[in-house]
Chains A and B, each alone.
Chain A
């Protein structure tokens, strides 16, 4: 077998469709995620175009409803989820020195469920009949509150598309989470105790566990909603004596942990990138593990901070506000640990590190606006305004997306054998960074001025023109960054610098095999003695295991 023959990127269509190899499945997840990123990004651009000036009529109100629903749903379920599952799929076995995931066929099943579920969601543009009977796609918002989702207010099948496609895709995520937990717990190579795993593996373990805990409840309420809509069950029907608020509780019991399911992988990527690009050991590894586990736990008990405005009792308000503040503690510990890792290091600001530092700085700010929203009276003022939109884009774009790009630039050479272009990468970073600030910063101001979220237009003379215009300009700046990224990927696949096995002089096991790795990952299954096995190999005179 020649090396060309096992390059996963040069194999034929048929090989991809029938594959059970964790690396190919990982690549398929990520490529699908990026395609949907482009789709959902275009939806956002249309919305920003509509909102650039008051009383605009680029999008009709109904189309606007469908667009913000599809934008949010897509970004969370079809971009965030597949990219994080794909990266875990690809790198967990390599990082823990295994030859594949624990259940290779289940892995394929999980991917295809996601893939077909996603297609089904977008098929709704053709198949569903929405609010007006004209629009095809779901239009009830990404959290689909009752009673809007009842057949009275949402006739047609657009809402059923939302329910069923996400249910199917969610089943896929559950399968993959089972696979990840099993793989991490049972397939580590010789010498890799839990406390010697790369932090990436720890964080994905917690992440997969969260998926297992909260996605089944989501599936359950989706089935309940389907029964309501198709068979006249009355789970969420106020007129039949049900309490529509129960949907909010159950949805956010999934929804809040879900935002942590999305951000913990971001933590995972930059926890690998920052030490390598600072040339220092990660500061406080055991504390990082503890912080991740406690974030996982706490995030299960804060959901009603999304519901402060529904009229909860003071005791409930106080509990959920306090519990939400508590998340800030382990999160803050992580931020200190990343900074302490960089402190006094020999920092190389290559593109992965640029994005990682962008992540740390922006995530701090996003966390702070979150804390502001956790203050009950403040939330009463700001809930359902553009301030909330500003907050979560700060953490999801400045946080998750930056971390994804950090990881993408870091591991692309491992997956493809070629480095991405650094110059283009840096330009991309700066366009995205500036575009991000200009887009989402003003949203906080518009929110303070009282602009509600999810409105298709606004009136002149209410102090909103400047902020909305700025947001739309920012979106245009971002477009340049994304285009540079796409160009970079296509260019580098052909012409990028050959990476070699270990272009960043890194320390975890994935860099000890070839780039791209062969189907069997490692010729001999590795044996390790410390958290930085490659350091030990490169510096036999000064190995880490003496110090851990």
Chain B
């Protein structure tokens, strides 16, 4: 530690702002009590302001303090248990992610697996493969009623396939982003927990949203098909190759303007 003595000037402590503030408060308190209080307050605040200004003009009243040098930088006296810093303290985590395609492929694979299982289930329970298509399309098609759920309906078939494909791919893409964020048990998370959460949400709200549709759904079988989707999509995504994010590359490289070194 050095012992060089420097001095700095700081404003002299003063009670005038306090007096002015007290006076001002009393001035207004005059409205609440009596004019006398208000007048006393007015006088006090004028005195306070004059005193304050005389602290400033003609000379700025200051006192000199002796500055003791103290250690900069401070030695670290930390309560932190380890002195090892986070190796990626500046990075955007996770450092490695899946390619966009893997989410896409995972979604398609999960969607196909789910389709197969649903059709088999429909055969067993209703003696017809068309039940799930009709129920799915019923959410947007008014012509589908409880009576014709097992008949083949071409429009319903196409609509249902469209909804199913969109949802499967959408959720597959979400898996692609979310699973590497929770790298510990991607399969359990993807196959069980996430499908369970959304199935539960759907189960809890469907009765309010569309009670008739709710009647037609076999919820335990529904859950099974969701698990199948989650399991297949989860495996496909988490087994796919991971790549480094571009965060350590220069902007020109990220934008594809420069190719950078081969690595």
Contacts and interface: CB of A to CB of B under 8 A. Distances in A.
A20 B14 contact: yes
B14 A108 contact: yes
Contact of A523 (B56, B67, B82): B67
A100 interface: yes
Contacts of B196: none
B20 interface: yes
B54 to A, nearest CB: 12
A281 B89 contact: yes
B146 interface: no
A172 B24 CA distance: 11
A281 B32 contact: no
Nearest to A278: B86
A157 B28 CA distance: 13
A120 B29 contact: yes
A524 to B, nearest CB: 7
B25 A116 contact: yes
B79 interface: yes
A274 to B, nearest CB: 13
A511 B74 contact: yes
B181 interface: yes
Contacts of B76: 502, 505, 538
A280 B78 contact: no
B154 interface: no
A164 B14 contact: no
A513 B80 CA distance: 19
A119 B28 CA distance: 13
Interface string A528-541: 00000010011100
Contacts of A502: 74, 76-78
B78 A504 contact: yes
B94 interface: yes
Given A160-B31, A520-B67, A524-B72, A505 B78 contact: yes
Interface in B1-39: 6, 8, 10-11, 13-18, 20-22, 24-25, 28-29, 31-33
Contact of B24 (A127, A168, A350): A168
Nearest to A348: B80
Interface string B199-223: 0000000000000000000000000
Nearest to A523: B69
Interface string B54-79: 01100000000111111111111111
B85 interface: yes
Contacts of A35: none
A226 B38 CA distance: 15
A18 B13 CA distance: 5
A105 B93 contact: no
Contact of B70 (A283, A514, A519, A537): A514
B11 A104 contact: yes
Contact of B89 (A279, A501, A511, A518): A279
Nearest to B19: A112
Given A120-B25, A281-B90, A18 B77 contact: no
Given A279-B85, A344-B88, A346-B86, A17 B15 contact: yes
Contact of A109 (B20, B56, B77, B89): B20
B25 A280 contact: no
Contacts of B29: 120, 164
A160 B32 CA distance: 7
Given A283-B92, A503-B78, A519-B65, A105 B8 contact: no
Nearest to B21: A112
A411 interface: no
B31 A230 contact: yes
Nearest to B26: A116
A18 B65 contact: no
Contact of A519 (B10, B17, B94): B10
A506 B52 CA distance: 39
Interface string A98-109: 011000111011
A389 to B, nearest CB: 26
Interface in A471-506: 499-505
A522 interface: yes
Nearest to A526: B72
Interface string B174-218: 000000010000000000000000000000000000000000000
B32 A127 contact: yes
B77 A100 contact: no
Contacts of B11: 20, 100, 104-105
Interface string A104-131: 1110110111011101100000011000
A520 B14 contact: no
Interface in A123-177: 127-128, 157, 160-161, 164, 167-168, 171-172
A109 B94 CA distance: 51
A128 B18 CA distance: 25
B94 to A, nearest CB: 7
- The 4 A-B residue pairs with the shortest CB-CB distance, nearest first, are A500-B77, A112-B21, A344-B93, A505-B78
28 contacts: A1-B66, A99-B8, A100-B10, A104-B10, A108-B14, A108-B17, A108-B18, A109-B52, A112-B20, A112-B21, A113-B21, A113-B24, A116-B22, A116-B24, A128-B32, A164-B28, A164-B29, A226-B31, A279-B85, A281-B89, A348-B80, A348-B81, A500-B74, A501-B75, A505-B80, A511-B74, A512-B73, A513-B72
Given A18-B18, A281-B89, 8 more contacts: A105-B11, A157-B32, A344-B88, A348-B81, A511-B74, A512-B72, A534-B73, A547-B90
